[in-house]
Structure 1
Amino acid sequence: MTPSKRPVNLVGPAFPAPGASCCDLSHGSGNLRSNPATSRGSGSSFGGGLNVRIYPFVSLFAASLIALLPTHAMAQQLPSENDQQASVSVRDRDREEYRPLGVHLGGFDLNGAIDFGIASTDNLFAAESGTPAEVDDMIYTVAPNARLTSNWSRHMVQVGGGAEWRMHEDFSNEDSDDWYLRAAGRVDVGDSTAINGSARASHETTPRTDPDSPLIGEPVEYDRNTLSAGVTHRFSRMRVSLDAVQDEYDYNNTQNFRDNEETGLRGRLEAELSPRIGLLLRAETDERDYDNTPNLNSEGQSILAGVTLNTDLMRGEIAVGQFERDYDDPTVGTFDGVAIAGSLEWYVTQLTTLTFTARQDADDQISVTAGLPFISTEYGARIDHELRRNIILTAAARFGERDYDAVDRSDEVRAYEVGADYLLNRRVALRARYNYDESQSDGALAGRDYEANRFSLGLSLRL
């Protein structure tokens, strides 16, 4: 069996605020697996009706940037050799003068933001290129979020939530209201042991750019509930963790045949060979149950071994091993192959970070056009450059493939992104993105081929 590929989620640390989508209409998900909904509607680049509708907005936006540009941010300063943040990614680096202060409430800190976005897409429904269904539209988003976190010396409690309302100028039937609530905690038992847990409830919408999303009808909405609990213990130079996770999907209306529940157990062992390199061992087992499609019920296992890096130039991990998934349906049988999981940051300079990601595993997200398992592989790269202390430039590419071994179908997905993030001050941040998404599907049961462009601008007001 030839392994296949699935697009990588290359979205970096939440910006401008954790949990907020700003004007980026994509969102990632998944604990035991990745949601195939990799990105939301796409926008046009420089053609057709986009010029008339976007250029006045861009001109006003550019003029505002020039007027608001802080004079002290024009001179870039390299971090000194003694700067403790020198070996930190561009996006993770603490910019104290631009860090939102939030509100201190005794033993807790309250942080929040409200994000506003506008996007233009030249293929709202991710329709076949050249067909009448390939239409453009403007999308407006409002996304508030808040997070309350303890600031205790031991233990931790965090609660938060947010929402995202998307409104379309021409196709109001595509409007959607998403939300999430989350709580997490950690109990420190002595100096070497911690017990953690979390719960998350959300209402989400599958984007039209999902390769198996329907082209007609209302957007597919679903509720998702996730519970997790685990324990971590450190033995001298070894760190061991064990986590249990339950994930439940409940689809609305006619899509309820996709309802499923997944429970799993994950173990992880890290052995520190030196302060810079370590050995890694990961093992996972899970069970997936579909309420209305029992032939897709399955049990899976995987074991991977690799290395962790924590040097002045690189940080991350890469692991390779074997996966196997057994399905109740004898016509599907067993899927197995090489498992890959990795994420590596390379600090090319103190102002430039390259991030590489890779993943390969078996999946079986049931959809409106295919209810069969597939092997997926995904890989990508992202570069972030700190042009000024408060201006970050970014570019990314991701590639993926799904191989439906049981039927005649294979999907290839490509996506590219360029953009910039501009921190005006502690309270205000701006964001600009251009995204290109492409999908090609081959075989007797092939999905649709499409190309989509999206240009988006966003404003974040932070607490």
Structure 2
Amino acid sequence: MTGERKIVGMVLGFAAVVGVALMLVPCQATAQILDPPGAGASGPPRRPQLRPSLPDDPDPTEEDRRAFDDGRFGPNEMVPAPVAAIPQDGDEAPGQAAAEAIGEADEEIAEDGGGLAEDATQRTRMAIPQDGDPVPVVEAQAPQDGVIDLSEPTAPVEGQEDITEADIRSPEDIRAFVNEPGGYDPLLLEAEEINPVFSPSNFQGFALDPFPPIGTKIGSFLLFTTVESDVDYNSNIFASPDAEGDTALEVRPAARLTSNWSRHALEFRASGDFSFHDRFPSEDDRAYLVEALGRVDVTSFTNFQGFAAHEEAQESRSAINALSAGTRPNIVVDRLRGAFNQRFNRLTVQLRGAKIDTSYGDDLIAGVVESNADRNFTLYEQAVRPKWEFSPYFFVFSDISFNQRDYDVPADTDGIMRSSSGQRYRAGVSFGDVSQILRGTISLGYGEQTPNSPELPVIDGLLLDADLAWQISPLTVLNFTATTEVAETITAGSGGVMERTYGLEARHAFTRYVVGSVGVGYMTRDFVGAAITEDQFTAGTGVEYYMNQWAVLFARYQHTDFQSTQPASSYTVEEVQAGVRLRH
């Protein structure tokens, strides 16, 4: 037992001496490693790895020498900074422990004369990561309440969308805060629904225009101007069975001045149509139109609207009562319209009235003056239109109107006065003008026009009116139009003509600046009481090239085939146009 105790005492004494010696040997301070290397990293030191691109290069370049000198790779290769731990409540301030450790190491290195500098560097390095080593995962620190980040936003990666430049507003919000294109007319008496019996629709639909006009600001008004000039060839200038062709230079200027007020509105328009024919000056056009529109906003739910226009033009050779021989008479039309609009939540009621005075100039046929006084008449209209809004994209409405047509003298053809009275009943739906798919109006109804003279029959029939635009895609738009009206005539035995027209047109943008179109149309006329019918088929195509926001080049072609039950009245026409449209 005594020998065993001596052996145990010697072993314990030796261990105590070794432990005291190790405690007294000065050691270098090392920073705390939060994520120590895995077991695979222990063992004898490995040979420093060279950069893979230079595995066996015996003569390194100057850049490689600097890399070895500053420790980027080679024996003195620097290691990435260790991942910092997420600070917790009560922890020391970030960097405090590291600063103290670095300070202690500097003091010991100074005491040793700098001999431990290389060893200290080696001890603070981490081993190069190897395949199979665990990957440290540290969640990013959540932002603290009350701390404002003033740093610049990170630039987007190339090829990815910069979300800071994306407009995330809805299409309705964008339209509410961005000016509408110049073609949008907020002053239409019918809120984009004008009674098609007496005037054409001004509906714009979807305009495939890469440069919507923005106008010129003049005080509190905006001015929009355009001038269109083209060379026109017409193979049958007189719309006659015996075709005669002619070429003409056409110029069509137009201007629109509209207010930019928060309440009320005022607008002026002017346009002209001038042509200069080569062979037949009698077909020259000298037409112009001036208009004034106004709106007075009594409240946000009540307003009054007014419209006045004066127009002078020459009668078309294809008009109902036009003649192929002689000169074309001048037509002067004066229009006055007024409307009262009242909104009751989703219900809007409109009361409107109109007066239209139409007069015709004299014809000159073979040197003989022919009067057209029997064609002059004045039209009066009264109407009411209730409309219910289900959404900004869908409305239902009805329209009830009454009219009186007064003539001053009886017709020369049969000695009968053409004065009459009539009524129109319509019901339809409207899709508004904000949808990105379907816009416009369509209605179905019944109309009747009763001549005051019992010798003339009543004109009545179904009424179909439409002005629809369907945006099939952002590049393709399909337009459908339809109108039904009771037109005037002095044909013997007939008190009026039931005229129906239908049109279908497709527009497609082949590129942003090239827009093509193709369309077909059909018209039918029924001379009630005279057993005369007329049909007209048209087909056309065209292309527009938007050079810039100021100029548009265009070309058009149209074929017309007109058939009539009257003898020697059918004809065909080929028409070609090419020109430029300047605008601002």
Q: Same fold (TM over 0.5)?
A: yes
Task: Write out per-residue CA displacement over residues 192-222 of structure 1, whole angstroms, 9 at most, x where no aligned residue.
Answer: 1121101100111112222532111011211
Once the two structures are superposed, the pairs formed by residues 337-348 of structure 1 within 5 Å of their partners are: 337-348=461-472
SS at match of 2:240: coil
Q: Find the counterpart in structure 2 of residue 448 from structure 1.
A: 569
Q: Distance in 2 between matches of 1:360 and 1:113?
A: 31
Query: 382, 401, 404: which one pairs with 1:287?
Result: 404
Q: Find the counterpart in structure 1 of residue 498 from structure 2.
A: 375
Shift of 1:31: 6.4
Higher helix share: 2
Pairing 1:219–2:328 present = yes
Task: Write out per-residue CA displacement over residues 173-194 of structure 1, whole angstroms, 9 at most, x where no aligned residue.
Answer: 2223111111111111111112
| Higher RCO (C-alpha 8 Å, min separation 6) | 1
Query: 411, 415, 418: which one pairs with 1:296?
Result: 418
Higher strand share: 1
Q: Write the letter of the residue equivalent to 1:347.
A: Q
The TM-score with structure 1 as length reference comes to 0.76
Pairing 1:125–2:238 present = yes
Q: Find the counterpart in structure 2 of residue 258 from structure 1.
A: 375
Q: Distance in 2 between matches of 1:400 and 1:366?
A: 20
Query: 195, 203, 208: which one pairs with 2:317?
Result: 208
Q: Find the counterpart in structure 1 of residue 273 from structure 2.
A: 164
Residues 143, 179 of structure 1: CA spacing in aligned structure 2 closer, same or farther, 3 A cutoff?
same
The TM-score with structure 2 as length reference comes to 0.61
Q: Find the counterpart in structure 1 of residue 171 from structure 2.
A: none
Deviates more, 1:195-204 or 1:396-405: 396-405
Matched-pair identity in %: 25
Residues 324, 166 of structure 1: CA spacing in aligned structure 2 closer, same or farther, 3 A cutoff?
same
Shift of 1:378: 2.0
Q: Find the counterpart in structure 2 of residue 77 from structure 1.
A: none
Pairing 1:33–2:154 present = no
Contact 1:17 1:462 in 2 (8 A): no
Structure with max Cα Rg: 2
Query: 476, 499, 517: which one pairs with 1:394?
Result: 517
Task: Write out per-residue CA displacement over residues 145-188 of structure 1, whole angstroms, 9 at most, x where no aligned residue.
Answer: 22211111111111121222111011122223111111111111
Contact 2:197 2:483 in 1 (8 A): no
Q: Find the counterpart in structure 1 of residue 344 from structure 2.
A: 235
Once the two structures are superposed, the pairs formed by residues 7-18 of structure 1 within 5 Å of their partners are: none
Shift of 1:223: 0.8
Q: Write the letter of the residue equivalent to 1:331.
A: E
Residues 391, 169 of structure 1: CA spacing in aligned structure 2 closer, same or farther, 3 A cutoff?
same
Q: Distance in 2 between matches of 1:209 and 1:436?
A: 14
Q: Write the letter of the residue equivalent to 1:381.
A: L
Q: Find the counterpart in structure 1 of residue 35 from structure 2.
A: none
Contact 1:364 1:371 in 2 (8 A): no
Q: Distance in 2 between matches of 1:199 and 1:31?
A: 17
Task: Write out per-residue CA displacement over residues 249-302 of structure 1, whole angstroms, 9 at most, x where no aligned residue.
Answer: 111122232111111012212112344333211111111112223621110101
RMSD: 2.6
Q: Find the counterpart in structure 2 of residue 314 from structure 1.
A: 438
SS at match of 1:332: coil
Q: Find the counterpart in structure 2 of residue 22 from structure 1.
A: none
Q: Find the counterpart in structure 1 of residue 22 from structure 2.
A: none
Shift of 1:432: 1.1
Q: Distance in 1 between matches of 2:509 and 2:486?
A: 37
SS at match of 1:257: helix
Shift of 1:323: 1.3
Q: Write the letter of the residue equivalent to 2:509.
A: E
Q: How many residues were matched structurally?
A: 378
Pairing 1:115–2:115 present = no
SS at match of 2:318: coil
Q: Find the counterpart in structure 2 of residue 416 from structure 1.
A: 539
Q: Write the letter of the residue equivalent to 2:212.
A: R
Contact 1:203 1:224 in 2 (8 A): yes
